[in-house]
Structure 1
Amino acid sequence: MTKFKVNHIVLMLLLATLVFAGCKKAWDDHTEIDIPRLDQTLFEQISAEPTLSTFSTYLVKTGYDKLLGSSKTFTVWAPNNNALKNIDASLINDNEALKRFVGNHISNQSYFTDAPKPSLVIRMMNGKNTIFTKTTFEQSAIVNADVYVKNGVLHIVDAAATPKPNAWEFLQSATAASSQKDFIKGLDYMDLDTSKGVLLYKDPVTQKGVYQEGTTFKVSRNKYFQRIANISSEDSLITYIILNNAAFDAEKIKLAQYNKQVDPLKADTLTKWSVVKDLVVNKVYNINELPDSMTTVTGVKIHLDKSAIVETRLLSNGIAYVVNHIGYKLMENKIPTVVVQGEMPDSLRLPSTVTARIKQDPNGVRFTDFQTGSITSSPSPLYYYRYKTNVSSVKYEVYWRAINDVLATPVSMKIDFNTTKSFGSLIPLATVGYYNVPSILGLGNTSQAYKDAYKEVYLGTYTADNYGDLYLFLASALGASATIPTALTLDYIKLKPVN
């Protein structure tokens, strides 16, 4: 190899080494971790930033400086000095309020701006929820993002995030909706919390537990929170409808006729309950996303006109709309259709074995019904199934579906009603008494008669005078011998409300 070629190769190797070293330095410059900053805690980083001096003072005053100086991981959305210059003096001088305010800017864990897709709901140190996007925190803009330090992430924002109320807190402050607030507040009661109680024994008379002294304690509960939704909870996001006083009164007038009671005070309470129970939706609908109907936690579909909304409020657990009107279909929606399943009797009076059967109709739909075999003795009164349900004070059309694959002859039955458990003083249907259910034994399962036997049958009407418990008695008729009842069979009874 010539000397020239050797020198050329050496020169090329030197150039390659220099290029590689330059590229490596450029890559190192690109990926180098800011070592001094990673030695600092969040509080040290905030304290060192001149534009965050006011927020730093608040951290010290509320004790959050110690938390942000610990080894745990946090994210802080720190408002700059300009964002805090108009903070109310009453907030600054109220230690608890200031702590809630400062805690509304701090969360556990590290959240960078690439995490929201497109937004995140984050639980803050004060227990409230806030919304974080790639460029915003609540209503503020992020002016300096993703400052990574030893124990978390710092974002600097241009506006303060005042803690939002939850639905219950907002309702209590909404003077235009005092009727709704007062009724729900009136459902508070004191209860004994036995979750950590040491049970000594059960009272032989009342069957209530007797606990070791000091292991149970009184707690305040609310029936609305327990039966409908806990609108004070920060653990789920909701759309909450608040009726202003005029709308509340209008709903009371509309619904009073369906909640009649002998006691007028009970009737008033039932009516108010009917007004407020269908106002919670387990999803957040912003005003520009309102659908034609929303399904409440009670299964009722409601309609909200934008023109009916008098106030919109973002909440820590969703969104609230104060409205002067709410829409829904009254019958079968607000006043529901009642379906009583045959296999779920409250009581029965029968001489033979009762069987719950899983079957399949001609369309392939599975269902369960309830039936006896042939009855061989004559009781007094007749044999029956008794069912318990709850009805509104309204007229109902009554239907049933009953499949007679028990006897080769028709099964003759009727439905009577009573507001007590007694078989006496029964109220019959308004139009028909006993109904003969034809036998399907021997029919081909493709015949029209076989298919018709699986259709529900209209039986007549029943009007409930009062809201409350109703007992339905499915009673057997006497058979051909005029002394022995026929069998009993039932898939379901349906009570459909009508105007």
Structure 2
Amino acid sequence: MKYKCLKRFALLVSVIAALIVTSCTEEWNKHYSEDFSGTKSNLNLYELIKSKENLNSFTKLLEVSGYDSLLAEDQSFTVFAPDNNALKNIDLNDKVLATEIVMNYTARYAYSTSGIENSIIPMLNKKLLPFERNASNFKFNQIEIGESDLAAQNGILHIIKGYEPYNYNIWEYIYHTEGFDSLRTYVSSLSVEELDVNASYKNGVFVDSIFKTENKLLTDLALINAEDSIYTALLPNNEAWTEILNRVKSYYIMSDADGGVAKQNEVSKWAIIRNLFFRGKIDLPVSEKVLTSTGRVKFYNPDALFQDVEAYELSNGIVYTAGQLHIEDTASWAKPIIIEAENASMGRMLSNFSPQTLSSLGTGFDVSGKYYLGLNDASLNSLAKLHVTFPVPNVLSTKYNIYCIFVPRIILDENDERPYKVKFSLNYYDAEGKKQTGYIDADKNVQSAASAQATFITDPTKIDKFLITENFEFPHSNVVFDYETTAEFVQQIRFSVKVENDTKKTTAEQRSYSRDLLIDCIILEPVL
């Protein structure tokens, strides 16, 4: 791995936050005013800087950027001004660069060297830069201070002997670095402008239409534009983005009713970006056994994720750039889908069953999540059919093996070794978008005729991972992203598994089979 360090950033966020709050108080300014023992000039900061021959270059930057007028105002500032030698290779007439430099070396409030040990200073551009004492002198952003504590009427000037280029945060890196156009274009597309209701109304009266811009990456995944938050980002270059997008898109083929190709691109890109950001700074090799992205994707082989990367330390974390993303399909998008049977929030439907949630704790049985669904016969006559239907969201356009996990009766009564006598059917939409019912036959294939439906007997001696059918292929993905309520979520689910207890309501039949059911979960395992 190549490692390119742009700037050291290794301070705890909690310390940073505390120092920022402290620096913004009047007591902080008063502290420096009382402790400062130097002679105060009659000049304001701009005039003081302009009077120094060794700061001619920085003076030019102030004038080109327009910050000369700000430093002449009756406010309190601290300027860490690089001397002429430090700026000898800088284009002093570049207004964008001049503004960038001035904001990066200027802070509000007065910061003298009095009492400084290891402090963090918030600059005008919101960067958090170190102001430190070492054995013999002081440093700002790792640069030695040549002349310190030059007091002006409106602040303090420190002259430093070097220049460190502006250090991007992760958000800025994405927007300004060549080779990441594909990622940048997608991130930009996530920005939306909407009415700021709070700003548009005052005391309940409409004042003006004030709009704000929000970006889904920042609000839902990571505040990578904030200087007081630390993240690790894995960023694919254009080639890597194209390669993984083409791979992922095959799982998100959408029907025309669900948005077609446009929706396919949208959900595919979001599926990728959910994997790319992590809280905190991750050094290589990775010390954690499991990494969880801010998109809640767990990686159980973290070092494999960061193969062949280049590292860049930025102002709010670290970026690893990649020419290829080593994300396994089954680690992120094409993961098994598990529907816990006891969870009714997905729209589970019952017919002639009375449900209860049961615990497996202390039983010795390995039940998913330690809870399972008990379904008791609540039928009133022998003709009533007993069945339960489990809606399954977020299927992809790929093949799955589909299972129902049955819990044996012996978990409740060690003498009850009756199996379950069951039938299965699937409700789904075909390639033309038509709703279909598929019946599972004796060979565990899906048939359109109900007469082909077979009856199966479960194993009453163990947790039975019962294969319903294998290699069942969905022509379209049914990934549900757009909803605000659970009801809206459930309405968008287009696939379900129906389990029917085929045990007759006769004494003879019930001696051999149970009319009740105990179900742990429904599992769809992708076949890749």
> If the length of structure 1 is used for normalisation, what is the TM-score?
0.68
Change (3 A) 1:101 1:476: same
Q: In the alignment, which residue of structure 2 is the partner of 1:4?
A: none
CA distance in 2, matches of 1:414, 1:361: 31
Question: Secondary structure of the equivalent of 2:180?
Answer: helix
Distance 1:145 1:371 in 2: 78
The runs of 5 or more residues in structure 1 that have no matched partner are 1-32, 200-210, 440-448
Q: Secondary structure at the match of 1:191?
A: strand
Give the direction of change, closer, same or farther, for the CA distance of 1:286–1:267 in structure 2 (3 Å limit): same
1:87 alignment counterpart? 90
Q: 1:331 to 1:36 in 2, by over 3 A?
A: closer
Residues 300 and 334 of structure 1 are in contact (CA less than 8 Å); yes or no, is this contact kept in structure 2? no
From the superposition, tell whether residues 385 and 292 of structure 1 become closer, same or farther in structure 2 (CA, over 3 Å): closer
**CA 1:367–1:55: 2 relative to 1, 3 Å:** same
Match of 1:244 among 237, 261, 280: 237
Q: Secondary structure at the match of 1:389?
A: coil
1:425 aligns with 2:437: yes
1:479 CA drift (Å): 1.7
How far apart are residue 327 of structure 1 and its match? Answer: 1.0
Most deviating of 43-52 and 367-376: 43-52
Q: Structure 1, residues 398-435: CA drift from partner, whole Å, max 9, x if none? A: 34444346795444445543346999624649738655
Alignment match, 2:71: 65
Report the CA distance shift for 1:132/1:241 in structure 2 as closer, same or farther (over 3 A): farther
Show the 5 A alignment for 1:160-171: 160-171=163-174
| Distance (Å, rounded) in 2 between the aligned partners of 1:195 and 1:426 | 52
Map of 1:128 onto structure 2:
127
- Report the CA distance between 1:497 and its aligned residue: 2.0
Q: Report SS of the residue matched to 2:90.
A: coil
Aligned to 2:225: 232
In structure 2, the CA distance between the partners of 1:315 and 1:380, relative to structure 1 (3 Å rule), is farther
Structure 1 counterpart SS, 2:437: coil
- Give 1:295 deviation, angstroms: 4.3
Q: Distance in 1 between matches of 2:117 and 2:228?
A: 24
Contact (CA 8 Å) 2:353, 2:387: kept in 1 or not?
no
Query: 1:37 Cα shift?
Result: 2.0
Tell whether the 8 Å contact from 2:298 to 2:331 is kept in structure 1 after alignment.
no
Give ranges in structure 2 of 5+ residues lacking alignment.
1-33, 446-453, 479-492
Mapping of residues 466-485 of structure 1, within 5 Å: 466-468=476-478, 469-481=493-505
For 1:85 and 1:384, the matched residues in 2 are separated by: 77
- Contact 1:373–1:406 at 8 Å: present in 2 too? no
Q: Does 1:187 align with 2:184?
A: no
The corresponding residue for 1:396 is: 400
Q: What secondary structure, in the 3-state scheme, does the structure 1 residue paired with 2:426 have?
A: strand
- Counterpart of 2:240 in structure 1: which amino acid? A
**1:123-178 deviation digits (Å, cap 9, x = unpaired):** 4221234456666544x522359859899987643223443333333323334222
Alignment of 1:367 with 2:366, yes or no, is no
Aligned length: 432
Q: Percent identity?
A: 18
Given that 1:385 and 1:474 are in contact with CA atoms closer than 8 Å, whether structure 2 keeps it comes out as yes
Deviation, structure 1 residue 390: 0.6
CA-CA distance at 1:339 after TM superposition: 1.7
Q: From the superposition, tell whether residues 470 and 361 of structure 1 become closer, same or farther in structure 2 (CA, over 3 Å).
A: farther
Amino acid aligned to 1:475: V
Secondary structure, counterpart of 2:118 in structure 1: coil
Helix, strand or coil at the partner of 2:397: coil
Greater length-normalized contact order (CA 8 Å, ≥ 6 residues apart):
2
CA-atom RMSD, angstroms? 4.6
Letter in 1 for 2:504: A
**Structure number with bigger Rg:** 1
Pair 1:43–1:358, CA change in 2 (3 A): farther
| Contact 1:399-1:494 within 8 A present in 2 as well | yes
